[in-house]
Amino acid sequence: MENSILYFFSTIPQVFAAIIALVFVFVFFKLQGFDKSLDVVCTDFAGVLGSNVSQIFSWQRLGSGSTFMTNYKAKYFSNISEVMIKVCSERESDKESNQQAVRNLIKLKDKAVHIESDKSTLIKSTKSFCIFSFSLIISSLSVIPFTKCIESNYLFLDNLFFLFILLSVFAFIWVYRILSVSLKK
């Protein structure tokens, strides 16, 4: 009986360590995909932006779309969607702007906002999953030294097994949600 308890509570950390590694692989590649998509959107945004940014946009003087891309690639913008929102609002208020170009800028800004939102959601859910998994690993390892004490208390042992199985199922559902977001095109 003691061996089965030890096997059960030592297997949980191994399984969750492997799951965390697997989740990190998928999340890492998805984050790279988000960055590539954001690069494409920013390149398109710079192309539509062109060379006639008015001087109203004084907090960051962007002389052209190429200056926008230079600043973006140099990581001067901490949140690119905020910059795009300001550029779009400046272009909308400028009556001399090409309205079709403004509509295209707004569409690209919306894409960038969506990409950054998805990226942020994926990062937050992965962080919370890892915290949950590490707490499950630590709690299962903390039970191992007390196996002799809990071996005779069958009710407590049944409840403990049920609790860990329930938490493991919850974690697997969480992994499914993270991976479904990661694998979505």
The pLDDT profile of the chain, 185 residues, written as one tens digit per residue, is 678 888 888 888 899 899 999 889 989 999 999 989 988 888 888 888 775 444 444 434 454 566 677 767 767 677 788 888 888 887 777 776 677 878 888 899 999 999 999 999 899 989 988 898 888 888 888 888 887 777 788 888 888 888 888 888 888 888 888 878 767 76
What pLDDT was estimated at residue 66? 65
What pLDDT was estimated at residue 150? 78
What pLDDT was estimated at residue 97? 66
What pLDDT was estimated at residue 140? 86
What total of structural domains would you count in the chain? 1
Which of 37, 33, 34, 77 is CA-nearest to residue 59? 77
| Cα–chain center distance at 73 | 21
Phi and psi torsions of 89, nearest 5°: -65, -35
User: In what helix (H) or strand (E) does residue 40 lie, and over which residues does it extend?
Assistant: helix 2-49
Please enumerate in sequence order all residues whose Cβ is within 8 A of that of 173, keeping only pairs 6 or more positions apart, or say none.
Answer: none
Instruction: Answer whether 13's CB lies under 8 Å from 141's CB.
Output: yes
Domain with 46 in it: 2-183
Instruction: Answer whether 106's CB lies under 8 Å from 49's CB.
Output: no
The Cα diameter of the chain in Å comes to: 83
User: In what helix (H) or strand (E) does residue 175 lie, and over which residues does it extend?
Assistant: helix 154-183
What pLDDT was estimated at residue 107? 92
